[in-house]
């Protein structure tokens, strides 16, 4: 990473968000906030990747359905970089249950049901590091200076 104070997070637009044409709107929100995308790809996630990604939920009754749903269509996987991007990314997404999400958040504006909540976002810096490594090879992560950095950060 070019900035030692910056952190990275993993954000994925789930199949419902891709099918509803929300990729551009979601990217726009992160860009407008001032975060820098360092990786992004549209992909059909393999089941083994999803089983590994969601392994901490494997004992939950909804686990099988979640994996099947996430494998049902393309996902847009992204890595965003910036100051406290993990915590702020979660705030921008809103509560996991869209009906508990505030208007103005991504889920609050675009979702109704928890099983169709448009996005996944890492919940901690350590989780983000693990998820980024699962979804992206090192050479897919771009390290560059953001031209507007001086206008975003002091």
Q: List residues forming the annotated binding site.
A: 14, 62, 90, 96, 107, 117
Catalytic residue among 8, 36, 53, 120: 120
- Alpha carbon of residue 143 to chain centroid: 18
**Is 53 among the residues known to form the active site?**
no
- Three-state SS annotation for the chain: CCCCCCEEEEEEECHHHHHCCCHHHHHHHHHHHCCEEEEEEEECCCHHHHHHHCHHHCCCCCHHHHHHHHCCCCEEEEEEEECCHHHHHHHHHCCCCHHHCCECEHHHHHCCCHHHCCEEECCCHHHHHHHHHHHCCHHHCCCCCCCCHHHHCC
C-beta of residue 18 within 8 angstroms of C-beta of residue 73: yes
Query: Binding site residues for ATP, as ranges?
Result: 14, 62, 90, 96, 107, 117
Residues with a catalytic annotation lie at 120
């Amino acid at each position: 990473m070019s900035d030692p104070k910056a952190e990275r997070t993993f954000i994925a637009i789930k199949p419902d968000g891709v099918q509803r044409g929300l990729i551009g709107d979601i990217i726009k929100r992160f860009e407008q906030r001032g975060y820098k995308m360092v990786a992004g790809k549209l992909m059909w996630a393999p089941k083994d990747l999803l089983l590994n990604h969601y392994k901490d939920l494997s004992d939950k009754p909804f686990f099988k359905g979640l994996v099947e749903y996430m494998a049902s269509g393309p996902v847009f996987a992204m890595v965003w970089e910036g100051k406290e991007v993990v915590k702020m990314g979660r705030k921008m997404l809103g509560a996991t249950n869209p009906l508990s999400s505030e208007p103005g958040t991504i889920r609050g504006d675009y979702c109704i049901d928890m099983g169709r909540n448009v996005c996944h976002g890492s919940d901690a810096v350590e989780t983000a590091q693990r998820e980024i490594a699962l979804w992206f090879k090192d050479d897919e992560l771009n390290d560059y200076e953001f031209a507007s950095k001086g206008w975003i950060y002091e």
